[in-house]
């Protein structure tokens, strides 16, 4: 597709991978809006990026409906949805707290579904569109203490396959992106100190890969891909 002029909504766009994706799309000439829960972070990102900001929580149905409605009203339609909003919670099975476990699924899975549903209604009607779900290599292989996060990403991968089967007849491309470790605020939020390194991935690499996938002619698409650091050690 020709990204220039495309209308793109990026959830979780206030920082990290979402911010990087929004920046890369705007640099390609797309008309971009970012969605985020925290108003202060959202406003700061909007000022840096020069894009529209939509405050809301993807896990709340009314917010998801309102966000897509606001976007379509502002831009006259929607061409790309990037489902990036998500967070993690890590604990051994015997210590898992049900409310925290449920909260991860509410954002990472239900939130993606709500946003995808609202965007897909427009995509089906216009017979075009792209949904990009940001998953993780944790959605390909589980690990210790990752029941909540990996479980949610495995679920997102399954939903992506379902949407792809449903939407391909309407010329809608549904892609899944699995980043490995990326240097973002993600780890600090879950209380893990991330070792920074010039060899590790940045949001820019994930964004560049997504731009490349989007720019393939609409007759074809990449259903799923992973992005690894060449040598992070």
Active-site annotation, residues: 149
Residue 11 bridge partners (DSSP): 35
Angstrom distance (rounded) from CA 217 to CA 37 = 34
Half-sphere exposure of 167 (CA within 13 A, CB side): 28
Q: Of 155, 158, 11, which Cα lies nearest the Cα of 83?
A: 11
Residue 172 bridge partners (DSSP): 129
List the structure tokens of 40: 């202060």
Intra-chain end-to-end CA distance of the chain, in Å? 36
Check: CB of residue 132 under 8 Å from CB of residue 89: no
Residues with Cβ within 8 Å of 92's Cβ and at least 6 positions away in sequence, in order, are 144, 145
How distant, in Å, are the alpha carbons of 40, 56, 124, 194 from that of 36?
10, 6, 25, 23
């Amino acid at each position: 597709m020709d990204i220039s002029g495309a209308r793109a909504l990026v959830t979780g766009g206030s920082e990290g991978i979402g911010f990087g994706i929004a920046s890369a799309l705007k640099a390609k000439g797309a008309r971009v809006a970012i969605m985020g829960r925290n108003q202060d972070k959202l406003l700061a990102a909007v000022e840096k990026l020069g894009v529209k900001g939509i405050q809301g929580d993807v896990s709340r149905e009314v917010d998801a409906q309102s966000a897509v409605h606001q976007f379509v009203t502002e831009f006259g339609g929607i061409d790309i949805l990037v489902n990036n909003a998500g967070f993690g919670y890590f604990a051994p099975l015997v210590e898992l707290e049900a409310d925290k476990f449920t909260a991860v699924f509410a954002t990472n899975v239900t939130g993606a579904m709500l946003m995808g549903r609202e965007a897909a209604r427009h995509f089906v009607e216009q017979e075009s569109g792209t949904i990009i779900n940001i998953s993780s290599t944790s959605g390909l292989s589980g690990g210790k203490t990752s029941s909540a996060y990996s479980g949610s990403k495995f679920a997102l991968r399954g939903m992506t396959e379902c949407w792809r089967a449903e939407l391909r007849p309407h010329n809608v491309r549904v892609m899944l992106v699995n980043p490995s470790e990326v240097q973002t605020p993600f780890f600090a939020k879950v209380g893990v100190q991330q070792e920074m390194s010039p060899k590790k991935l940045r949001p820019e690499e994930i964004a560049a890969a997504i731009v490349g996938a989007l720019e393939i002619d609409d007759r074809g698409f990449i259903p799923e891909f992973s992005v690894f650091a060449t040598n992070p050690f």
